[in-house]
Structure 1
Amino acid sequence: MRTALISGAGVAGPTLAYWLARAGWRPTVVERAGGLRSSGNPVDVRGAALPVVERMGVVDALRAAATHTTGLRIVDSAGRPGRPLSMPTRRSPAGTAEIEVPRADLARILCGAARDDAEFVYDDTVTRLDQDPGGVDVTFAVGPARRFDLVVGADGLHSTVRRLTFGPERDVARHLGFYVATTPLGEPPEHPRHVLLHNTPGRLVAVHPVRGEAGVAFIFRHPAVTGFDHTDTDQHRRILTGAYAGERGWRVPELLDRARQSTDLYFDAVTRVQLPSWSVGRVVLLGDAAASVSLFGDGSSLAIAGARTLAAALAEGEPGPALRRYEAAHRRHTDARGRSAGLVATVLVPKSRPGIAVRNTLARLLPTG
């Protein structure tokens, strides 16, 4: 039985473990964190991901964990929400409608689906990879070294496997001119079925209903910060405070203060990862590690679909040709999402007041809901 090490127990990793086990592989998933997170931003499961979760038998669990969001409202500086706007719902060929679910719940459900057929190792990470034509010798920070037939980096935008195999992140990641911060508010949403959006030039504040609790997101245009560290929460608070200094509309000062005091603050640059190839020998990348367009790129759905494509390719033969087939098939989808990122950014975070006015006018063409 062939063995695979999958770095990352988020969305792509457990999905791949599930499908590799059914293709006759023995997967091991290693995760840096001590366990699954209890919070997370809502993400969409849609498009090519829907048939995958249908075949995994987890649609009912995803529905049970889903948010109750049906649309959005644009809020002015005085706090007056506009009419509710509904977004078009897409369905799979089998009729399953797209699902919005907190990312932590999505990861939990996918890990649960794979748990009986895969080994999960938490609170550890890869520190060294040495490969030869027959396999990969892996050194871990905590556990003993082991050998695998294949290593998969499904460890996100700041992938350790990618750094060890392909070189520093700065060589493959491009800042797209935005930063994003999110945190749970610990209170019920004012509008349980609608995302509230408030814009000023180059800035967005959004309050999103999850399940009985609201979360807030700050998305803002900002050049790349010299010396930015995605693990430095104090630095993140300083950047966020400076970006929204002087904002007085709606609930922005209050929400900003909540974010600064939060112990569960997510903050990162919106980044596009671009690589000439997703594999070197018996090491391959998956999900955001391979082709991130974080925030604007349907990352979770692409990760699920990509995991299924990779597993199907590996089920057909030797890793070398299989990895090339996987990349050729899946890169078409990630490249298309990358090209649309600029348009999505323009709609979400217009640069100017005229741009906001045009966006709001176009939004009125959406159906109410």
Structure 2
Amino acid sequence: MPGIKALISGAGIAGPALAYWLARYGAQVTVIESAPARRTGGQLIDIRGSGRDVIARAGLAEVVRAARTSADGLSFVDARGRRQASVRADGFGGDGPVTETEILRGALVEILHEATDASVEYVFGDRVDALDDRRDGVHVTFAKSAPRRFDVVVGADGLHSGVRALAFGPDGARLRHVGYYLSFWTARNTLGLCDWTEVYSEPGRTIGARAVNGNTQLMAFLSLRSAPFRYDPRDTAALKTVVRSRAAGMRWHADKLIAQLEDTADFYFDACSQVVLPRWSSGRITFLGDAAFCASPMSGHGTTIALVGAYVLAGELARAQGDVAAGLRAYEERLRPWITRVQRFGQHNGRTMTPRTRAGIAFRRGVVALQERLPLGDLLLRDQIRLSNGFALPDYTLYERTRP
């Protein structure tokens, strides 16, 4: 693979993870990011099963473990704050509802950037404006930088990928709404939580908080059942109004959390959607992570499939020894069956987070209570655990040119 020039659009998690492996196989890698600097904010994310295996193979397991949050478990509470059912992070082999590897998105971004900074070219504050896939490579026009040619271009620029629109057209991807909207924001720890998460549900809406940053802050979240509605993702003030109105009247500590929306420096709101592409590549242009196969936050596997996808994409390109088209075909053929299963799981898992009825809330409470009490309680999560560990990582060490 030495001499291959790769461009990756997106410097979140999937992009730098791919850059790490491509550089390890000898490629010359450039990562371009529209933001002016690293995006170090963001919500808590899970690394499960096969994703943890990728982190271990990258030699980053210890640094990730040191940076993870101290999340010992989760409790479902009633309107008065009484814990009705709980689950611990150290159960279910670390792949249960609360995983043993939970880390702030920004912390993982920092780790991946540090691991690649010396071997990868990063360009911030710029974006891809045009793509021309020719016989000698992909000729790329940027908004600010001079045009350049690459052997392969990878869109790792998220759910609303601009590179995907350039390659496939604005209607080239189908966004499958899974019936929910999700919001996150950072708040002061007014609940007194210590290494724990509490979740409160009413029919069709769920609010909760998880202690982060040494228990000094909370990562608050709101999940809503809703049919699709139109909104401007760039209008933060309007989206905060949506959250306030949809959470109005909720009990528990909802008012305390919602009151902090105005001052939060870290706010996220979006539909829980999946990206469904008939194919992941077009010529020498391909896609990774949410840009290719977003499974929605309700899947609980977004970071895991991004890490596994990066590992497989780089490995298959290395195995192809310069035949980019063959490498991209192998990447999709190997990975798509597992991704399809993850997306199928994500379509239905929102029912657990945000039940539609009071009966559904009671059923969830009962199931979690059984998991606590039964000696074989992990059987109730068997399918999820198998899914998290359901992709066997190929061995690409033969193609390595550098070691961490």
Structure-to-structure mapping, 1:82-231, within 5 angstroms: 82=84, 84-87=86-89, 88-90=91-93, 98-168=100-170, 171-187=173-189, 190-212=192-214, 213-226=217-230, 228-231=231-234
Rounded to whole Å, the distance in 2 between the matches of 1:185 and 1:350 is 25
Secondary structure of 2:49's counterpart equals: coil
- Contact in 1 for aligned 2:17/2:307 (Cα 8 Å): yes
Answer yes or no: is 1:310 the counterpart of 2:317.
no
Letter in 2 for 1:159: S
TM-score (norm: length of structure 1): 0.93
Secondary structure of 2:116's counterpart equals: helix
Rounded to whole Å, the distance in 2 between the matches of 1:11 and 1:169 is 25
> Residue 190 of structure 1: CA displacement?
2.1
Answer yes or no: is 1:235 the counterpart of 2:238.
yes
The equivalent of 1:336 in structure 2 is 341
Give the length in aligned residue pairs.
362
Say which of 26, 29, 36 aligns to 1:27: 29
> Residue 175 of structure 1: CA displacement?
1.6
Of 274-283 and 38-47, more deviation after overlay is shown by 38-47
TM-score (norm: length of structure 2): 0.86
> Residue 263 of structure 1: CA displacement?
3.3
The equivalent of 2:367 in structure 1 is 362
Rounded to whole Å, the distance in 1 between the matches of 2:328 and 2:141 is 23
**Where do 5+ consecutive residues of structure 2 fail to align?**
374-404
Task: State the Cα deviation string for residues 190-223 of structure 1 (Å, max 9, x = none).
Answer: 2222210000001010101223221100111111
- Contact in 2 for aligned 1:66/1:99 (Cα 8 Å): yes
The equivalent of 1:326 in structure 2 is 331
The equivalent of 2:351 in structure 1 is 346
Letter in 2 for 1:234: A
Rounded to whole Å, the distance in 2 between the matches of 1:246 and 1:44 is 30
Of 356-365 and 81-90, more deviation after overlay is shown by 81-90
The equivalent of 2:389 in structure 1 is none
Secondary structure of 2:40's counterpart equals: coil
Of 156-165 and 133-142, more deviation after overlay is shown by 133-142
Letter in 1 for 2:238: Q
Alpha-carbon spacing, 1:221–1:260, altered in 2? closer, same or farther (3 Å): farther
Letter in 1 for 2:357: S
> Residue 10 of structure 1: CA displacement?
0.9
The equivalent of 2:279 in structure 1 is 277
Task: State the Cα deviation string for residues 220-274 of structure 1 (Å, max 9, x = none).
Answer: 1111112x22222122122212212232x11112211212442321111100100
> Residue 111 of structure 1: CA displacement?
1.3
> Residue 50 of structure 1: CA displacement?
1.6
Letter in 1 for 2:37: G
Of 176-185 and 229-238, more deviation after overlay is shown by 229-238
**Where do 5+ consecutive residues of structure 1 fail to align?**
none
- Contact in 2 for aligned 1:201/1:349 (Cα 8 Å): yes
Letter in 2 for 1:223: A
> Residue 143 of structure 1: CA displacement?
1.4
> Residue 76 of structure 1: CA displacement?
0.8
- Contact in 2 for aligned 1:86/1:366 (Cα 8 Å): no
> Residue 173 of structure 1: CA displacement?
0.9
Rounded to whole Å, the distance in 2 between the matches of 1:275 and 1:79 is 43
> Residue 135 of structure 1: CA displacement?
0.8
- Contact in 1 for aligned 2:86/2:369 (Cα 8 Å): no
Alpha-carbon spacing, 1:280–1:83, altered in 2? closer, same or farther (3 Å): closer
Task: State the Cα deviation string for residues 275-317 of structure 1 (Å, max 9, x = none).
Answer: 1000000100000100102212311111011001001100022
Rounded to whole Å, the distance in 2 between the matches of 1:161 and 1:344 is 29
- Contact in 2 for aligned 1:46/1:90 (Cα 8 Å): no
> Residue 188 of structure 1: CA displacement?
7.0
> Residue 83 of structure 1: CA displacement?
5.0
- Contact in 2 for aligned 1:158/1:169 (Cα 8 Å): no
Rounded to whole Å, the distance in 2 between the matches of 1:157 and 1:342 is 16
Rounded to whole Å, the distance in 1 between the matches of 2:262 and 2:340 is 35
- Contact in 2 for aligned 1:189/1:209 (Cα 8 Å): no
> Residue 98 of structure 1: CA displacement?
4.6
Letter in 2 for 1:360: R
The equivalent of 1:290 in structure 2 is 292
Secondary structure of 2:317's counterpart equals: helix
> Residue 91 of structure 1: CA displacement?
6.3
Sequence identity (%): 37
The equivalent of 1:267 in structure 2 is 269
